[in-house]
Amino acid sequence: MVKLIGPKKLRTSVFISGRGSNFKNLLKFSLKKNFPIKIICVVSNNLNAKGLNIATKYKIKKKIYKSEYEILNYLNKNKIELICLAGFMKILSKNFIRNFKGKIINIHPSLLPKYKGLNTHQRVLDNKEKISGCTVHIVSPKLDSGKIILQKTVRISKKDNHRSLAKKILKQEHILYPKAIKKLLINL
Ligand code: GRF
């Protein structure tokens, strides 16, 4: 894994498909002097992703994902060293992951290895779990299965529905993702 030496910030691309609250949060952190990434561009496979408005507002380059080949070229041209997936709803190929080995990370709203995939919160509630949470992990070719960097647990109350649980977990995601990036890059 690339280790940060001195004050250098890793050139980073964030991949989104929707709202982009994690993107916005990472952007906020990345503007701090001692945070080890600089967000160069945002990639979205959805032209209507709300998160793209955040990119416009903060003058971050935007790229619409049409083909993997095109995106790989774009990332190479922009000298991207780290990719942060943040609600990116497309599965990346083995070839793509190989090209950025150990340098693609993802946030997932469950305590992996439990509840990989979609509709996490409803499945957690249906199984009457008492806790859930979120996980930041390195992306490997198997969905939601790479090495875990950090996790955060959230208690589920009897009153929770999938919306309230998603909200509680999202709040923790916004703390966990920057913390995991720091852990990965500066071994804090
Ligand atoms: C988050 O819950 C994240 O864990 C999941 O997708 C959601 C994205 O939310 N992978 P946002 O677009 O960052 O607001």
Which protein residue has the closest C-alpha to ligand 1 atom 2? 109
Greatest Cα pair distance, the chain, in angstroms, is 50
The tokens describing 59, both together, are 């003058």
pLDDT of residue 85: 98
Verify whether ligand 1 is closer than 6 Å to residue 141 (CB atom): no
Supply the pLDDT for residue 1. 59
CB 132 within 8 A of CB 111: yes
Label residue 186 by pLDDT band (50, 70, 90): confident
Can you tell me the mean pLDDT for 181-188?
Answer: 86
181 touches 36 (CB < 8 A): yes
Q: Report the C-alpha gap between 26 and 132 in whole angstroms.
A: 22
Nearest to 43 by CA among 27, 25, 23: 23
Question: Which DSSP state fits 151?
Answer: E
pLDDT at 8: 86
Residue 147 one-letter amino acid: K
User: What does the alpha-carbon distance between residue 151 and residue 179 come to, in Å, rounded to a whole number?
Assistant: 10
37-72 residue pLDDT tens: 999 999 999 999 999 999 999 999 999 999 999 999
Instruction: Indicate whether this model's pTM tops 0.85.
Output: yes
Residue nearest to atom 7 of ligand 1 (CA): 87
Residue of 28, 39, 107 best suited for mutating to test ligand 1, as the one with most atoms within 8 Å of CB = 107
Three-class secondary structure of residue 34 per DSSP: coil
pLDDT tens, 2-44?
555 555 899 999 999 999 999 999 999 999 999 999 999 999 9
In sequence order, which ranges of 78-130 are alpha helices (DSSP H)? 94-99, 120-126
Q: Is the pLDDT of residue 188 over 80?
A: no
- Give the number of other CB atoms < 10 A from CB of residue 172: 17
